[in-house]
Structures are given as structure tokens and as C-alpha cells.
Structure 1
């Protein structure tokens, strides 16, 4: 099933589209969209450029989260489950080189695959 994608230019648009329901136990927002828990992706944009994306499941921040450099290259990608990191967390440099990779379980870092350089 295809996810609903909503592009936003600023926080005022977010307030006009989504109904804030609550803050979940992990500190993440809970949103309704058209009277139902939001299932989809919010793309925060600067003009045509995507700055970051947040995936929501059943109104909670849950799913793939991505941040991008100005050149369009992905800066980071990770998965959240009820606003807590879960699974792979990766970060790249502006030219696409992998800078960091870790594994998370239930909001706790359990393994570093590629450490950050000092």
C-alpha cells in the first residue's frame, strides 16, 4: 500500500493540516489527519528541496526518518518505532560516503558498525 506523502514548507502548514492529539510515552507527537490517526510521510521542504522526512504510523512517529544535505544527498536515515530508534541508523557525508552506522533495539544503541571519526 502506498503511503500518503504531505509536503510542508513551514510549521504553520503543519498546524493547519494535522490535529495534534497527544505526546506519546517516548515524547513524540501523535497526529490525526482528517479525523483518523495519520499514516504516511511528512516531507519538510525548503522550496522544492526536501530537508527531512518523518514517517508516521497510527498517528505516532514510526517508520523511516531521513535528513538531506542541500545538494540532495541523504545525510541520515534511521527507523523509529513509537518515537524510539530501532534497527539501523546510518549517516553519510555530503559526497555520499558512509560516516556512521549503528544498530538500535527498543531505543538503546546495541552495536556500532562504523564508528564516527574523531
Structure 2
């Protein structure tokens, strides 16, 4: 399920014990992607949640529509990869994490 952060059925449920955001949809923990948009219609970001908790891919965009950051979170820890681009689409950083959030490789552009 993909919903807009302004959806009236979406409710911010607070912060979990690890500092992550929690969301409910129609009174139950939300599973899916929450989208947020700039006034110009471009995406601010897309964040994935499971059972109300931040879990999965998190993508943030510049106002011009170019991707800024893409990373994966679970239990408020990075896993898989973290990538950071400049406003022109040039990849500046790529970090690889193991399943426990430990950095195993870092490439700077």
C-alpha cells in the first residue's frame, strides 16, 4: 500500500524505544510506503514501514526531483546499503552494511 503523508487516515503513533517513527493507518499499525511531496509535486521522500515501524527502503529526493539518499533501515539500524548523490545525480558515497548494521565497505565518489 502507498499513501500520502497527508492522508487523514494516517496517524503518527510516536517514537519507538530505538528512536524510530511509528505510524498507524485506520487505527492499526501501518505496513506499506508513506510518500511526501514538495509543493511543486516532486517527491520529498518515500519511506517503507512494517507493522507501524520504519522497516525497509527509505528514499529522499532533492526539490528538483533528483534522488538524494537511498538506504535501508530495520530496528533503527542501517542494513544493505546507503547511497548519497549530489543534486546533479553524481553518486558521492556508497556504504555497504551487513545484516547487523556493521559497515563492511565504503566507497567515496
TM normalised by structure 2 equals 0.83
> Where do residues 68-83 of structure 1 align in structure 2 (5 Å cutoff)?
68-83=61-76
Q: Judging changes above 3 Å, is the alpha-carbon distance between structure 1 residues 110 and 58 closer, same or farther for their aligned structure 2 residues?
A: same
Query: Residue 96 of structure 2 corresponds to which residue in structure 1?
Result: 103
1:5 aligns with 2:37: no
Distance between the aligned counterparts of 1:50 and 1:22, measured in 2? 23
Q: Judging changes above 3 Å, is the alpha-carbon distance between structure 1 residues 6 and 60 closer, same or farther for their aligned structure 2 residues?
A: same
Please tell me whether the aligned partners of residues 23 and 30 of structure 1 are also in contact (alpha carbons under 8 angstroms): yes
Query: Residue 43 of structure 1 corresponds to which residue in structure 2?
Result: 35
Aligned length: 107
> Where do residues 52-63 of structure 1 align in structure 2 (5 Å cutoff)?
52-63=45-56
Distance between the aligned counterparts of 2:10 and 2:76, measured in 1? 18
Output the aligned Cα RMSD: 1.9
What 5-or-longer segments of structure 2 have no aligned partner? none
Q: Judging changes above 3 Å, is the alpha-carbon distance between structure 1 residues 115 and 94 closer, same or farther for their aligned structure 2 residues?
A: same
TM normalised by structure 1 equals 0.77
What 5-or-longer segments of structure 1 have no aligned partner? none
